[in-house]
Chain A
Amino acid sequence: MAINITMPALSPTMEEGTLAKWLVKEGDTVKSGDIIAEIETDKATMEVEAVDEGKIAKILIAEGTEGVKVNAVIAVLAEEGEDVSDVKAPAAAPSVSRPEPAATSPAPQGRKETAPAAPPNPPSRSGGGGPAPKGDGTEGASAVMERPSGARILASPLAKRIAANKGIDLKAIKGSGPHGRIIRRDVESAKPGAQVASADVAPASPDGLILPQILDDRVYAPDTYELKPLDGMRKTVAKRLTQSFMQVPHFPLNVDITLDNLLTSRAAINNAAREGVKVSVNDLLIKAAALALIDEPDCNASFTDKGIAYHKHANISVAVAVEGGLITPVIFKAEQKGLAEISEEMKDLAARARERKLKPQEYMGGTFSISNLGMFGIKSFASIINPPEGMILSVGAGEKRAVVDEKGNVVVRTVMSVTLTCDHRVIGGAEGAKWLNAFKRYVETPEAMLL
């Protein structure tokens, strides 16, 4: 009997989402609990778990597809002993949601035996050739969110009302009332728009990768802090950076770069630029980094399970601090873009990032990152790599320093220190150094960017 895997809902209000990634392919055998795909809305990512065992017979929705309706069939699973080739795709168009209560309501997952065995007009059952239904109703729901989403959310009526008013998803909130009940104070301290992230929200294990830092009254007395529930962004940042720092062998390279020429050029460029365009130092650094990546293609690389991906374009992720976290919108093909274009695009992306209005495709797909803390007077720092990118550049403050010039004289120059953090699995010390030299050349001789 073929089993439909459907698009799960990240929140009760979610209607559609992006199928970001398949972690299995047709023909793969999966067992209950295996992560088979990732779906996304905005910045929240959720893993889809297989409930039943079997072989992935058909993938109906390609990864990267946007606007997939909740409960749409995204793949079909053949049960053991069933011939994969016999399984037919369900008749319903994938983007049309199915009126199957078992999949709509998460509840039956906790008590499968009561799941409706014969939902009205079940398109999945039209697939012929499979063994007869077991008749125990287990073919009900096929895909669940990572968390047993069917678990009843314990929340007070007042907490529910306030959450609804504020647009807060109760699943993203940890309850502090009796038996973990979500009460008024929990929703009042939560941020509007909080969503469930991929991480499971069970109190004891915020994330499989994060140390179980359990809040213990014996360590911090309850009245000595204010507790803010983890929202989707915080969880995503925590998970990704922890993964990166634990799994990617990082190494840093430092260099000092003289900025005087770049500053002179910037003034000249802005004088010549059309009304409304004002190129920042950071815009120039984005361009320089992009050109350096094209010059040193070995450095524009990602380590992946299938091999090292050498990127053909320099897609520069720029770290933007936003309230409650961090996001990295991407300037795609920055090597091909003019400074005015980079500048305008960056302004727009940063503004929308701060409002948390970026689309996933605007912050995914970078090949290299820049993080600039110069405006805060930071001299130098080493960022954590933003996977699957291979390198990240940390830019310190430009400051006047005493420098010994080529003639041996001590002169005053505007200098900044930068640190390039590299993924040693794809980039060796020599490659990193070559890229830094190329970058330094563009910054110190900005005219070279015109070539």
Chain B
Amino acid sequence: MSTQYDLIVIGSGPGGYVAAIRASQLGMKTAIVERESLGGICLNWGCIPTKALLRSAEVLHLAKHAKSFGLKIENPSFDLETIVKRSRGIAAQLSGGVKFLMKKNKIDVIEGTARLEKGAPAPKVIVKGKDGKDTPYTAKHVMLATGARARDIPQAGLKADGKLVWTYREAMTPDVMPKRLLVIGSGAIGIEFASFYNELGSEVTVAEVMDRILPVEDAEISGLAEKDFKKQGMNILTGAKVENVKPGKNTVTAEITTKDGKKETKEFDRVILAVGIVGNVENLGLETLGVKVEKTHVVVDGFGRTGVPGLYAIGDLTGPPWLAHKASHEGVMCVEGIHGKNHAEPFDASNIPGCTYSHPQVASVGLTEAAAKAKGYDIKVGRFPFIGNGKAIALGAENGLVKTIFDRKTGELLGAHMIGAEVTELIQGYVIARQGELTEQDLIHTVFPHPTLSETMHEAVLDAEGRVLHV
């Protein structure tokens, strides 16, 4: 195997493997180092397998409501093992797909755990293989794409044990259905699992330390989501602090201090820890190279440059938003920056859509209403409920809202926030609008197909102008 590369990427998640493909397209001799499975967390333990689980939950949900569609399905039920098996199968299929893509693009896959040593023009990459032997590799450029993992807060008694206190990893391969489930943290990961287990019949409690769930979303959307989840039977505690999560023999106890200051110890069968993400910065040799790390994340510029010659970092490792599509995009930007390819654009974090695949789905891009006001914008806000959309009613999905926020002065779409069926598939329309710097007029003049859910997006723009049609 050749050991002289133009680029070595460490980590084969959606950031790393996409960067490697782009580098190969640009004619760079590229290798990728992976310690576990190609595709990283996203494909194996994140985005994709959870979507498979949530799809099972969604189908179950529809089956339960079959009657309202005029269908007869007696006592719909599920087999947990098969649901998990399906999810794992999909992960394996996609990991195999990445392997094929690496081969097709002539990217060398190096199995093992990488660390860096000082070197020029870029740090040297030492890979400890499965056999425990070190092999050195050199490249002109080295990209760190080692990702992130679930955060523990041991000082507050929040630590996963992998048996009764789960992280996302165990939560997506359950062997039994927990009867009583506590989800700590109500970001996208926490809410998706809460939604999945709730649909499958667990008694789900979500504890969020902030005053609302999905705290990064627009407050109005958070409120609607909370209302909907409560209606589905979820117990939601906002402004609640969880401490001393103690696994016992078969159950877990947790101390929960609620909004009104009452402290209670409650018993659960399982607990899912979803209190944030820490970057995988350890054991890479970053200290000896003088790489700047802040709060477990590597500090980089808009092209992923770390300040150490020849060393770059992208994706979750470099900080929020911790999203696969952010990592892929950063990876491509970084490679194009290295290559000096025509029109490399530095990474712009302001236009990264965020999606939560719960039931109902939540999707957003840009500024929330509060953030836009705080930034001093004079704003116009438009809203449109799904109940005014024919397709939504036909789908039996009339719960939902689209909200748009425009700068009154320039017509810029500052932010868009959506909750309801398939909004994760719709949000890209607004992302394109923002990327293309379209104004409210351009969106108004755009023809949206009828009947589709996307018409709600048009109406939400019209509403901002005071000319909504269907409410």
Residues of A in contact with B (beta carbons under 8 Å apart): 156-159, 161-162, 165, 178, 183-184, 217-218, 222-223
Contact = CB atoms under 8 A, between A and B. Distances in A.
Contacts of A217: 340, 344
A255 to B, nearest CB: 53
14 contacts: A156-B436, A156-B438, A157-B411, A158-B410, A158-B411, A158-B412, A158-B437, A159-B437, A161-B412, A161-B439, A217-B344, A218-B340, A222-B344, A223-B346
Contacts, number: 37
B439 A223 contact: no
A184 B437 contact: yes
B437 A156 contact: yes
Nearest to A218: B340
Nearest to B413: A158
Contact of A157 (B302, B343, B409, B438): B438
B302 A223 contact: yes
A197 B346 CA distance: 31
Contacts of A223: 301-303, 346
Given A165-B410, A223-B301, A223-B303, A178 B439 contact: no
A236 B410 CA distance: 31
Contact of B438 (A158, A178, A218): A158
Given A156-B437, A156-B438, A161 B303 contact: no
A14 to B, nearest CB: 24
A296 to B, nearest CB: 58
Given A158-B437, A158-B439, 18 more contacts: A156-B437, A157-B411, A157-B436, A157-B437, A157-B439, A158-B410, A158-B411, A158-B412, A161-B411, A161-B412, A161-B439, A184-B437, A217-B340, A222-B346, A223-B301, A223-B302, A223-B303, A223-B346
B48 to A, nearest CB: 31
In the complex, which of the residues A157, A161, A178, A222 has the most CB atoms of chain B within 10 Å of its own CB atom? A157
A162 B412 CA distance: 10
B152 to A, nearest CB: 35
Contacts of A159: 437
B265 interface: no
A157 B412 CA distance: 9
Nearest to B443: A157
Closest 6 CB pairs of A and B: A156-B437, A158-B437, A157-B439, A157-B442, A161-B410, A158-B412
A178 B346 contact: no
A370 to B, nearest CB: 44
B4 interface: no
Secondary structure at the A interface, as helix, strand, loop or mixed, is helix
B441 interface: yes
A161 B407 CA distance: 11
Contact of B410 (A162, A178, A183, A218): A162
Interface in B390-446: 409-412, 436-439, 441-442
A440 to B, nearest CB: 57
Nearest to A161: B410
A60 B438 CA distance: 45
A217 B346 CA distance: 12
A221 B340 CA distance: 10
Interface string B80-94: 000000000000000
Contacts of A165: 409-410
Given A158-B411, A222-B346, A183 B301 contact: no
Contacts of B410: 158, 161-162, 165
Contacts of B412: 158, 161, 184
B413 to A, nearest CB: 9
A90 to B, nearest CB: 40
Contacts of A161: 410-412, 439
Nearest to A221: B303
Contacts of B343: 178
B302 to A, nearest CB: 6
Interface string B170-183: 00000000000000
Interface in B332-368: 340, 343-344, 346
A421 to B, nearest CB: 43
Contacts of A157: 411, 436-439, 441-442
Contacts of A178: 343
A330 B439 CA distance: 46
In the complex, which of the residues A158, A159, A218 has the most CB atoms of chain B within 10 Å of its own CB atom? A158
A222 B342 CA distance: 12
Nearest to B445: A157
A217 B412 CA distance: 29
Nearest to B441: A157
Contacts of A156: 436-438
A159 B435 CA distance: 12
Contacts of B340: 217-218
B372 to A, nearest CB: 15
A159 B436 CA distance: 10
A450 to B, nearest CB: 60
Nearest to B409: A165
A165 B409 CA distance: 8
A218 B436 CA distance: 27
Contacts of B436: 156-157
Nearest to A184: B437
A161 B346 CA distance: 24
B287 to A, nearest CB: 26
Interface string B430-471: 000000111101100000000000000000000000000000
Nearest to B442: A157
A271 to B, nearest CB: 53
Nearest to A183: B437
A295 to B, nearest CB: 60
